[in-house]
Amino acid sequence: MDVKKLMDESALYIMDTYKRFPVVLVKGRGMKLWSADGKEYLDFLAGIAVNILGHCHPRLVVAIQKQAQKLVHVSNFYHNEFQARLAKLLCDYSFADRVFFSNSGAEANEAAIKLARKHAKERFGAEKTGIITALNSFHGRTLATLTATGQPKFHAGFEPLMPGFSYVPFNDYEALKAAIDENTCAIMLEPIQGEGGVVMPAEDYFKQVRDLCTRLGILLIFDEIQTGAGRTGTLFAYEQYGIEPDILTLAKGLGGGVPIGATLAREEIAKAFTVGSHGSTFGGNPLACAAALATIETLLEDGIMLSECRRMGEYFMASLLKLQKQFPKIIVDIRGKGLLIGMELTRDCAMAVQACFERGILINCTAGNTLRFTPPLIVIEEDIDRLTGVLKEVLERFS
């Protein structure tokens, strides 16, 4: 493979929407990736919280291979086995009664927004369309989900945005309460703000929000695109807050690397979607659902992987807290849940990401100054020790 030629053609023919590292990744196994020139990388990004079983997990590979040999796509005019089985599994292990399948997190959130508005209009009237989201949130790149995203930097150049959205500070119950008016139909929040810098809620925040929504007849939508599918140590993050949303969205880790999104809802709300009111050509195709079913079944078996996620998350947090004690002038905070962890720095973290990349470690910078760690849930102490060793070396250079 001519690596330089490939990167040159990529730069020439692909729209320039990504800042890419100068590497062509060609193979993955477990926690590791290899480039075309043979360099090995330890992956603490996992395709941005996607490859929860690691790369090329045997059970996932076999599920994809078997299904690809039988049936890849038929459209939703017909039933398919794996879509039905996956929908039942997600409902059995959640608050939900119904599922709508799509191809991505943005599409799952788009469906949630449409469902919330249609339900509210049918129940309360045509003016009930307002949706409140949080500042610093991230909900996707379609026009509606971009508007729902409470970060002006993502809005720039795409105005006029969709009407009907308003924003309040995350974790500020009084501000949220004050923003509600007679036209509010839903509140849409992430259990943890991932793209916003791994921002955690206060202990009682979501219980207050849930009580408020129930009292006022407003829907609570949880965007679990990043926190769902075991990332925080339970199948869904909402389980750890002692509440249930009315609508929940999933993607990223759901398919273990194969694109799939899902919007889950209670029956009373789901019935607002009737034949022809929403759809997706590729959503819930047999290949994606077979992959997702294998992924979620692997997560749930004996609870081993989820308990290991919690245990490794605690070990990871403890390791980073030790680093914080060594570099108190550089590391502001360590926060997260399970294997979604952020390390906030006093400076732009892009240099740290680059330095780790040069040393064979893949991590990510979000919100400008926060290193985000979303490794596969198969990560072990040895991997974490290697990462923290490299981070120590990098941070020493910054001192």
Under DSSP, the state recorded for 225 is: T
Other beta carbons within 10 Å of 388: 15
DSSP H stretches of helix in the chain: 3-13, 46-49, 58-70, 81-92, 105-124, 143-148, 152-155, 173-179, 205-216, 267-270, 286-300, 304-326, 350-358, 381-398
Report the C-alpha gap between 132 and 167 in whole angstroms.
Answer: 6
C-alpha distances out from residue 26 to 34, 39, 209, Å: 6, 10, 45
Residue ranges in the chain modelled with pLDDT below 50 = none
Our answer to whether residue 223 is catalytic in this structure is yes
Pair of tokens at residue 62: 């076999």
CB within 8 Å of 168: residues ≥ 6 apart = 132, 134, 135, 175, 176, 178, 179
Altogether, the residues listed in the chain come to a count of: 399
pLDDT digits (tens, 9 = 90+) for 241-251: 999 999 999 99
Our answer to whether residue 92 is catalytic in this structure is no
What does the pLDDT read at residue 1? 79
Other beta carbons within 10 Å of 57: 21
Residue 293 has, within 13 A of its CA and on its CB side, a CA count of: 21
What does the pLDDT read at residue 43? 98
Domains plus CATH for the chain? 3-57+303-398 (3.90.1150.10), 59-302 (3.40.640.10)
* Bridge partners of residue 248, in order along the sequence: 222, 264
Q: Is the pTM of this model over 0.95?
A: yes
Q: From the candidates 82, 95, 138, 222, which is the catalytic residue?
A: 138
Q: From the candidates 43, 223, 246, 383, which is the catalytic residue?
A: 223
Backbone φ and ψ for 203, nearest 5 degrees, come out as -55, -40
Under DSSP, the state recorded for 323 is: H
Our answer to whether residue 207 is catalytic in this structure is no
- Helix then strand count (H, E) for the chain reads 14, 15
Sign of the C-alpha dihedral computed for residues 373, 375, 381 and 387 taken in this order: negative
Backbone φ and ψ for 299, nearest 5 degrees, come out as -60, -40
What does the pLDDT read at residue 312? 98
Other beta carbons within 10 Å of 356: 23
What does the pLDDT read at residue 398? 81
Q: From the candidates 252, 273, 337, 383, which is the catalytic residue?
A: 252
